Amino acid sequence: MNTATIKFEAFEGLQNDECQKRILDAKKILGKKIIILGHHYQNESVYKHSDLTGDSLKLAKYVSNLEAKYIIFLGVHFMAEVANILGRANQITVLPDLAAGCSMADMANLTKVERTFRELSKVMNFDEKITPITYINSAADLKAFCGEHGGVVCTSTNAPKILEWAFKQREKVLFFPDQNLGRWTGYKMGVSLEEMPVWDPDLPLGGLDEKTIKDAKILLWKGHCAVHQMFRLQHINLFKEKHPDGMIISHPEAPFEVCKNSDFVGSTEFILNTIKEAKPNTKWLVGTELNLVNRLAKEMRPEGKLVQFMSHVVCECSTMARIDPQHLAWTLENIIDDKPVNIIKVPEREAKLAKLSLDRMLQIS
C-alpha cells in the first residue's frame, strides 16, 4: 500500500488545461466531502471552481454552517485560519499553497503588538483605556491578543459598526495593521485626522509624544496593503477628464485621498454588487485588485458598462495568485487518497482566544 502523499512536483509542470480536467474529476469523486470557498481576488482559473464566493466577512459567516469534512480555501493564510477557528472541530481546512500570505497582515506581529501594549501601558492603563481592533487581515495570534484584551476583529464591511462598539467600551482604539481602513472609517465617523496619529511600532513610543497619545482617539498602526497603495488621486482626475459622468468606487484599503475622492467606498462584495446593480451603460473606475476588476469588466460588457482598473500598472495580489490550478489539483487528489496536505490548524489556546474576538465581531455585525 502506498502511504506517501503525492508530491507537488508531480503537478508543477502540468498544463492549465490538464489541471482543469483533473480538478473537475476530483470534485466529482469528492462530492459533498469538500467545499471550496473562493475570495473575489482569486484568478478566474481557480475562482470558477468555488462553491461559495465572498469578501472576508461573507466567507467567515459561511464557515459556521458548513457540513463538508474539508474546507478548501482559495484565499490567503489568514482567511484559512479564520475558517479553521470558526469551523467545526472535526473539519479540516486546506490552503492549496501555504505561501499564499497577505503582505499587509505581515506588517503586524505579536512581538510588536505586545511591545506596543507595554509602551502604551507606561502612558495609561491599556486595558482600561484602549480597545485593540485587528483587521481580519492579521494572524490568528493577533486575533487572540484582541480576544484577551477586550478587543475585536473587523472587516472592510463592518469596520464602522465595530468602531462604534469600541468607543462604547473605552475611550481609545489601537487599530492594526491597516492604517488606511482605520483612518477612513474614523474620518467617516467624525474623528479628526489629528486625533488619528500613526503609531510606528519600530520607534520608541510609536514615534509619538505623550500628549499626542493622550489626545488621540484612534492610534493607527503603520501598515498598509501594497496593492491598494498604488492607487492615486491623479488616476481619478485622468478618468474624470475623459468620462465626466463616470463613477469612482474604491476599497477602503486605498489611500485616504483616493477614498475621499471616490463616489463609493466599500468591501470587495460591495464593489461587485454596486456595479452589478448599476444602470446599463454606466462607467466605473475601480480601486481594488486586478483579478476582481478584470472579471467584473468582462461580466458587465454585455450591459454596456465600462469597468476600468484604477492604476496604469498591474496591481495583482501576488500572494493570492499563488493559488493556481496546479496547487488546487494537487490538494484535491491528495484528499481523494485520504492524505490531505497543507492543513491549516491554529493551536488550541490561540484558537479559543481568537474565536472570542471573532464571535464578538459576528455578534456586532
- Give the interface with ligand SF4 as residue ranges (CB under 6 A): 76, 102-104, 137, 225, 227, 253, 289, 317, 319-320
Q: Which does 217 bind (CB under 5 to 8 A by kind): ligand SF4, ligand 13P, none?
A: none
**Based on CB atoms, which residue is closest to ligand SF4, 227 or 300?**
227
Backbone torsions φ then ψ of 172, nearest 5 degrees:
-130, 165
> Taking a C-beta distance cutoff of 8 angstroms, is the pair 141, 83 a contact?
no
The site partner of 103 among ligand 13P, ligand SF4, none (C-beta below 5 to 8 Å per kind) is: ligand SF4
Q: Which does 334 bind (CB under 5 to 8 A by kind): ligand 13P, ligand SF4, none?
A: none
Nearest distance, CB of residue 316 and ligand SF4, angstroms: 9
Pick 103 or 308: Cβ nearer ligand SF4: 103
Spacing of C-alpha 138 from chain mean position: 8
Choosing among ligand SF4, ligand 13P, none, which partner's interface includes residue 159 (Cβ < 5 to 8 Å by kind)? none
DSSP 149-203: TT-EEE-TTTHHHHHHHHHHH-SEEEEES-HHHHHHHHHHTT--GGGS-EE-TTS
Q: Listing from the earlier edge strand, what are the strands of the sheet with 52-54? A: 52-54, 34-39, 70-74, 92-94
Which among ligand 13P, ligand SF4, none contacts residue 138 (Cβ within 5 to 8 A by kind)? none
Q: What's the min distance (Å) between Cβ of 251 and ligand 13P?
A: 6
- Judged by beta carbon distances under 5 to 8 A according to partner kind, the member of ligand 13P, ligand SF4, none in contact with residue 56 is ligand 13P
CA distance 349 to 333: 32
Q: What is the DSSP letter of 207?
A: G
Is the Cβ of residue 138 or residue 365 nearer to ligand SF4 in the bound state?
Answer: 138
Q: Using alpha carbons, list the distances in angstroms from residue 94 to 34, 64, 341.
A: 10, 16, 7
- Map grid coordinates 493570492 to a residue: 320
**Radius of gyration, CA atoms only, the chain:** 21
CB of 292 to ligand 13P, least distance (A): 9
Q: Which is nearer to ligand 13P, 291 or 334 (CB)?
A: 291
In the complex, what is the shortest distance from the CB of residue 314 to ligand SF4, in angstroms, rounded to a whole number?
A: 13
Q: How far is the CB of 105 from ligand 13P (least distance, A)?
A: 9
Residue 174 backbone phi and psi in degrees, to 5:
-105, 120
Per partner kind, with CB cut-offs from 5 to 8 A, the member of ligand 13P, ligand SF4, none near residue 250 is none
DSSP label at residue 343: B
Which residue's CB is nearer to ligand SF4, number 42 or number 334?
42
Residue 193 φ then ψ, to 5°: -60, -35
Which CB, 45 or 53, lies closer to ligand 13P?
Answer: 53
**Interface contacts to ligand 13P, rule CB under 6 A:** 40, 55-56, 137, 155-156, 225, 251, 253, 267-268
